[in-house]
Structure 1
Amino acid sequence: MGAPFATWWNVGPGRGVPPVAPRWQGGGVTTASPVTLDDVLRAREVLDDLLHLTPVEGSEAFSEIAGHPLMLKCEHLQRTGSFKVRGALVRLARLSDEERRRGVVAASAGNHAQGVAWAARRLGIDAVVHMPADAAIPKVEATRSYGARVVLGGDRVEDALARATAEAEAEGRTFIHPYDHVDVVAGQGTVGLEILEQVPDVGTILVPTGGGGLVAGIAAAVPAHVRVVAVQAERAAAYPASLASGVPTTVATGRTMADGIAVARPGDVPFGVLAAHGAQALTVSEDDLSRAVLSLAERAKQVVEPAGAAGIAAVIAHRGETLDGLAEPGRKVVVVLSGGNVDPIVLRKVFRHGMAAAGRYLHLRCNLSDRPGSLVGLLEAIAQVHADVVTIGHVRTGAGLGVDETAVDVEVVTKGSRHSTEVLEHVRESGYDAVVR
């Protein structure tokens, strides 16, 4: 099961069909929703045939877990590997001739960077993209391959944003925000239009959420009876506090494998849309995210980055509980897989983390007598319960070790939680002081 049952946050006038444009209360002023269905429809005209119509795939495995018919909107198969190119293309296409001449600048950990770079090349616009110093190498190289000049520096996306806005002011470039602009939100909303056409009986849409551009665009695009749910990593979840307070709120964030949705404050434009439409939000843990990435690869044959798998993480974490109060009988749940740009090294770590969270990966440490044959006995004990040893490491000096002892770390793949318990018990019964690491 993951973390305790997610906290739900609701705001706005509900999802009944409004007689006029939706309105929201923010900063003491009531305003209309910043992005409407008409905005999204016009954005689709801009995109035309430039991008892929990403597929929607059914999944018996995840439908069974959810307790409702469930479909996967495979936006990780979009050009550049994520939905971000939609908003970037709409934003850049609407620049004036003078703005195009001066060029654009953006900041991103990866997906927005690639979207801006691809769109800029398509439209013949010079682009500079600021990225954190530790940005994933595949994302950096992909951004460069699309023709943008990449500037690395700083530890956080916020550092890159500060440098990008400073360059925009100094050089007259147009800053392309990753989520807080009406054109960007409208562009992302075209995902919602496609879902309506591909799954006419959709009732609930689960959307990975950082700043909120994608989930807000979808909320603006779909009719009032379709419930839109923002899913955030619990270590970087700004929307619960923001929706509870009624205004965009900055929260402290921790390190999360879902770096693509690690945003400390919702965008004003996305928050306005979500508040107007009465959207809901929930959070998922790191274990939930890693299990989702692993499950998508194993059960749906889809390679998705942790941020892009947040919707499935919610389904796996709470199974039918999460959707019981949302999904209407006879209507489908659609989970957006928002991105697939993941570093292979990171993917390996996430898979291992996911296997551990699912009880299928066991890391044991045993103190052995440092003499020939000691390790053989331990490995035989593990083999007797049909577990698969994948790595072995030795620690010959350290606290608690005698001069004639060595600590052995053994990483074992098992068939699940029960098998892991069986392995541990058998190793201990065989005379080894095994400790789970």
Structure 2
Amino acid sequence: MIATELVGLTEIEAAQKRIAGVAVRTGIYKLEGEAASKLPYEVWIKAESEQPIGSFKLRGAFNKVASLDKDALSRGVITYSSGNHAQGVAYAGRELGSKAVIVMPENAPIVKREATLALGAEVVLVGPASKERKEKAEQLEAEHGYTMVPPYDDPYIVAGQATCGAEIVEQAPDVDVVLSPVSGGGLLSGISTAVKLKKPSAKVFGVEPEVAGDATESFAKKELVEWPAEKTVRTIADGLRTQSLGVLNFAHVMEYTDNIFTVSEEEIVAALKVYLNETNLVPEPSGAVTLAGALFHPEKLPAGTKKVVVVLSGGNIDPALKAQLQGS
């Protein structure tokens, strides 16, 4: 266990108040249809795609930016992101009157880059490795006096994402298992913390692509491991290509998460098709990993599980990919 201070209910409740009226209380919907009929449990979908930016990332980003004083807001904020966190910071900056600078990888989906620009942010492009964008953001932070808004490794980010977990317990008090995507660990650490503090009997599992399985390995070894970018970029789930969990996030995960497991690229695509063909929700690949876990890996969940909530973390799918999946 890494010695670091963990976020608690006080910070989560403060985040709920801070983001109220900006981030929405997203809906939770029962999966119906052919795929659901084959499962030994009910699957309910927490639709973070309903956020104004189409992703859960607004929760943490706004909580962090809204915590800054006027002087920091006047100097501007900066972050590094492949897409959804970028939009969260851009949205928060626009709402709070602060300049937002986003360092993005060149391979980020065009739809996410354009959405970030449309929110008024300045975009700086770098190579594909998560280290590259972090280093560039830190350089610009030092040069211009911006305030860094990390994608995940920050207590305000964890507390903001935890509000999603708090809502799940309120909306589905009889939940047995919650499945969260995991990349840098912001969402998983937040959801795990909130769920365990509010309903200790519920289980929380992280799900990630097997070709970007650094979090699964870290959890198993009980120590942080890092995967090279050339491995993690192989997944269709562009939001889950981070090379390692954040330090603070890992501490929360080890304290509150029950397990992490992986799904294949084929399973992610199959889950995307279920969303598009059997629900009214639009997923992005990163948001579909949890449904893939519920559909194809019931053996990973505790015996007797009756109600599973899967977090659909975002709906910012590339239009070309959506058309391709709907036509296949």
TM norm. shorter chain > 0.5: yes
User: How do residues 257-296 of structure 1 correspond to structure 2 at under 5 angstroms?
Assistant: 257-296=236-275
CA deviation profile, 1:16-75 (whole Å, cap 9, x unmatched):
xxxxxxxxx23xxxx465111221111101012222211111113354333102111111
* Structure 2 unpaired stretches of 5+: none
User: How do residues 138-287 of structure 1 correspond to structure 2 at under 5 angstroms?
Assistant: 138-222=111-195, 223-252=199-228, 253-254=231-232, 255-287=234-266
CA deviation profile, 1:312-345 (whole Å, cap 9, x unmatched):
1112223x3233x26535xx21000001111112
**Is the 2:205–2:257 contact (alpha carbons within 8 Å) kept by the matching residues of 1?**
no
Helix, strand or coil for the counterpart of 1:79?
coil
Residues in 2 aligned to 1:218 and 1:283: alpha-carbon distance in whole angstroms: 18
Instruction: Name the residue aligned to 1:39.
Output: 11
Residues in 2 aligned to 1:322 and 1:244: alpha-carbon distance in whole angstroms: 14
The structural deviation recorded for 1:196 is 1.2
Indicate whether 1:58 and 2:30 are aligned. yes
Residue number among 279, 290, 312 corresponding to 1:311 in the alignment = 290
Question: Which letter maps to 1:83?
Answer: F
CA deviation profile, 1:354-396 (whole Å, cap 9, x unmatched):
x5xxxxxxxxxxxxxxxxxxxxxxxxxxxxxxxxxxxxxxxxx
Question: Which letter maps to 1:328?
Answer: T
Change (3 A) 1:190 1:278: closer
Helix, strand or coil for the counterpart of 2:53?
helix
Change (3 A) 1:338 1:65: farther
Question: Which letter maps to 2:291?
Answer: I
The structural deviation recorded for 1:210 is 0.6
Indicate whether 1:343 and 2:318 are aligned. yes
**Is the 1:228–1:280 contact (alpha carbons within 8 Å) kept by the matching residues of 2?**
yes
Residues in 1 aligned to 2:9 and 2:303: alpha-carbon distance in whole angstroms: 23
CA deviation profile, 1:143-182 (whole Å, cap 9, x unmatched):
1111111122323343222211111112111111100000
Helix, strand or coil for the counterpart of 1:221?
helix
Instruction: Name the residue aligned to 1:118.
Output: 91
The structural deviation recorded for 1:294 is 0.7
Indicate whether 1:321 and 2:299 are aligned. yes
Tell me how many residue pairs correspond in the alignment.
Answer: 321
Residues in 1 aligned to 2:24 and 2:62: alpha-carbon distance in whole angstroms: 13
What's the TM-score, normalizing by structure 2?
A: 0.93
Change (3 A) 1:104 1:327: farther
Residues in 2 aligned to 1:32 and 1:102: alpha-carbon distance in whole angstroms: 29
Helix, strand or coil for the counterpart of 1:60?
coil
> Segments of 4+ in structure 1 off by > 3 A?
326-329, 348-352
Q: Which has the higher helix share?
A: 2
Structure with the bigger RCO (C-alpha within 8 Å, sep 6+) is: 2
Residue number among 334, 338, 361 corresponding to 2:309 in the alignment = 334
CA deviation profile, 1:125-156 (whole Å, cap 9, x unmatched):
11111111232222111111111111223233
Residues in 1 aligned to 2:152 and 2:293: alpha-carbon distance in whole angstroms: 23
- Identical counterparts, % of pairs: 36
Change (3 A) 1:174 1:193: same
The structural deviation recorded for 1:238 is 1.4
Question: Which letter maps to 1:261?
Answer: L
Residue number among 48, 57, 72 corresponding to 2:45 in the alignment = 72
Question: Which letter maps to 2:186?
Answer: G
* Structure 1 unpaired stretches of 5+: 1-24, 356-437
Helix, strand or coil for the counterpart of 2:72?
helix
Question: Which letter maps to 2:296?
Answer: A
Helix, strand or coil for the counterpart of 1:200?
coil
Instruction: Name the residue aligned to 1:89.
Output: 62
The structural deviation recorded for 1:350 is 5.0
Question: Which letter maps to 1:247?
Answer: E
**Is the 1:203–1:327 contact (alpha carbons within 8 Å) kept by the matching residues of 2?**
no
Helix, strand or coil for the counterpart of 2:243?
coil
**Is the 2:192–2:257 contact (alpha carbons within 8 Å) kept by the matching residues of 1?**
no
Residues in 1 aligned to 2:102 and 2:265: alpha-carbon distance in whole angstroms: 29
State which structure, 1 or 2, has the greater radius of gyration over its C-alpha atoms: 1
Residues in 1 aligned to 2:108 and 2:303: alpha-carbon distance in whole angstroms: 37
The structural deviation recorded for 1:278 is 4.2
What's the TM-score, normalizing by structure 1?
A: 0.70
